[in-house]
Amino acid sequence: RIRKNFSSLRAIVSALQSNPLYRLKRTWACVHKDSMAVFEELSDIFSDHNNYLTSRELLMKEGTSKFASVESCVKEHQKRTHKRLQLQKDMGAMQGTVPYLGTFLTDLTMLD
């Protein structure tokens, strides 16, 4: 989640929730409680509860799926450009968000 790569995060969480791994009861019992808490938190992000509401809200917060308004488009573009330049100076490279594409494709299918 720190890298904002929700596509890979979804793949890893799905693999850990798969039947062959889920059935390893003794192995899961040996996992440290802190690690299990992190796993459960990450699993909750991609929960299908409320049409993936948690993952949608997190993407809005992280900056991937933002809505543009016509009035503030120019000002917002100037602010973003200034922020990007400052971020490039501070970090040396741009960091974006990689969304889980499955949610968007499902929405597009439902529109059709």
Average pLDDT along the chain: 76
The structure tokens listed for 79 are: 């602010």
**Is the per-residue pLDDT at 4 higher than 70?**
yes
Q: What confidence score (pLDDT) does residue 30 get?
A: 94
Q: What percent of the chain has pLDDT over 90?
A: 26
**Is the per-residue pLDDT at 34 higher than 90?**
yes
Answer whether 0.85 is exceeded by the pTM: no
**Is the per-residue pLDDT at 31 higher than 90?**
yes
**Is the per-residue pLDDT at 19 higher than 90?**
yes
Q: What confidence score (pLDDT) does residue 62 get?
A: 72
- Which one has a higher pLDDT value, 23 or 85? 23
Distance CA 12, CA 46 (A): 11
Q: Which residues contact 100 (CB under 8 A, 6 or more apart)?
A: 6, 7, 9, 10, 46, 55
**Is the per-residue pLDDT at 29 higher than 80?**
yes
CA contacts within 13 A on the Cβ side of 88 = 7
